[in-house]
């Protein structure tokens, strides 16, 4: 079944998130994208969570430091032993001395942090000269790529915009800027240059949103993912993984070609 590199990332994420195929899809896209980037040591991972994303994107690698604001995730990350050091802390005010890291990495975190300019300034401060900040995050076009935005927009733009607003509020999205705006903010924070690459083409984002709304948001108190968790106890995970792999593979793509609508962006800022 896993005949391609794309399939490998998707399949592996479904093995972990068989009950949440939307999560598996988004993480698989980002894992393949960042796996191609060289992160020069020492690396600080901002918003490291439990470390499972680093396991997916860089299997077998041990990073210098993981930082997260959630104590439960820090405890989980300790058990994985993929960080030499782990710290509980706020990226807007880091305790590290100037020029501590060669690379700062952060996956799908910066859109969730209020006061993002403080994080950018702090990141610049703790990077060594010539160091790089590597992040994946949302763009200002994220809302346009959502399945239900596109559906509602055929009938009412008011309802379509309301859907996007509620989605962003529910997922704590505070920052979704254009490439120009991200570049402007990064340079204001002290970075000398910024490169970027778009990813999450709308065809993939639409499928993600369609599934996410059903499985995670659900209807009222009913959550579809609970059904599949229960089903896995009866049939095992494999039939569920195979089903979702078959459903998601046709639209799985991390690449957004030039001019193609996209919902997310990879940014590499150099100090």
Residue 247 confidence (pLDDT): 87
Which residue ranges in the chain fall short of pLDDT 50? 1-7, 219-220
Task: Read off the pTM.
Answer: 0.90
pLDDT tens sequence across 70-110: 999 999 999 999 999 999 999 999 999 999 999 999 999 99
Helix (H) or strand (E) holding 100: none
pLDDT value at residue 235: 78
Contact 83, 77 (CB under 8 A): yes
Classified as helix, coil or strand, 181 is: helix
* Domain boundaries, given as residue ranges, for the chain: 5-142+172-270
pLDDT confidence of residue 5: 41
Nearest to 206 by CA among 257, 260, 263: 263
Superfamily of domain 5-142+172-270: Vaccinia Virus protein VP39 (3.40.50.150)
Tokens standing for 61? 């690698």
Confidence (pLDDT) at 244: 87
Task: Give the tens place of pLDDT for each residue, 56-81.
Answer: 999 999 999 999 999 999 999 999 99
CA 233 from centroid of its chain's CA atoms: 29
């Amino acid at each position: 079944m896993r005949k391609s590199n794309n399939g490998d990332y998707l399949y592996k994420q479904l093995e972990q998130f068989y009950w949440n195929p939307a999560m598996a899809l988004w993480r698989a896209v980002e894992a393949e994208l960042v796996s191609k980037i060289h992160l020069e040591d020492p690396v600080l991972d901002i918003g490291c969570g439990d470390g499972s994303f680093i396991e997916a994107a860089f299997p077998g690698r041990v990073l210098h430091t993981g930082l997260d604001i959630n104590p439960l995730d820090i405890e989980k990350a300790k058990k994985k032993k993929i960080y030499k050091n782990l710290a509980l802390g706020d990226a807007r005010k880091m305790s590290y001395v100037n020029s501590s890291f060669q690379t700062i990495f952060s996956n799908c975190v910066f859109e969730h942090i209020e006061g993002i300019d403080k994080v950018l300034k702090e990141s610049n401060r703790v990077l060594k000269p010539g160091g790089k900040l590597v992040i994946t995050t949302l763009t200002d076009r994220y809302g346009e790529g959502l399945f239900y935005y596109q559906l509602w927009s055929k009938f009412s733009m008011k309802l379509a915009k309301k859907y996007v607003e509620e989605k962003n509020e529910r997922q704590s999205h505070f920052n979704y800027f254009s490439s120009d705006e991200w570049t402007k903010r990064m340079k204001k924070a002290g970075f000398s240059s910024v490169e970027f690459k778009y990813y999450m083409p709308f065809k993939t984002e639409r499928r993600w949103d369609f599934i996410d709304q059903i499985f995670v948001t659900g209807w009222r108190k009913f959550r579809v993912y609970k059904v599949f968790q229960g089903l896995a106890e009866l049939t095992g995970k494999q039939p569920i993984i195979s089903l979702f792999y078959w459903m998601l593979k046709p639209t799985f793509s991390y690449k957004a070609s030039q001019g193609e609508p996209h919902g997310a962006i990879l940014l590499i800022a150099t100090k």
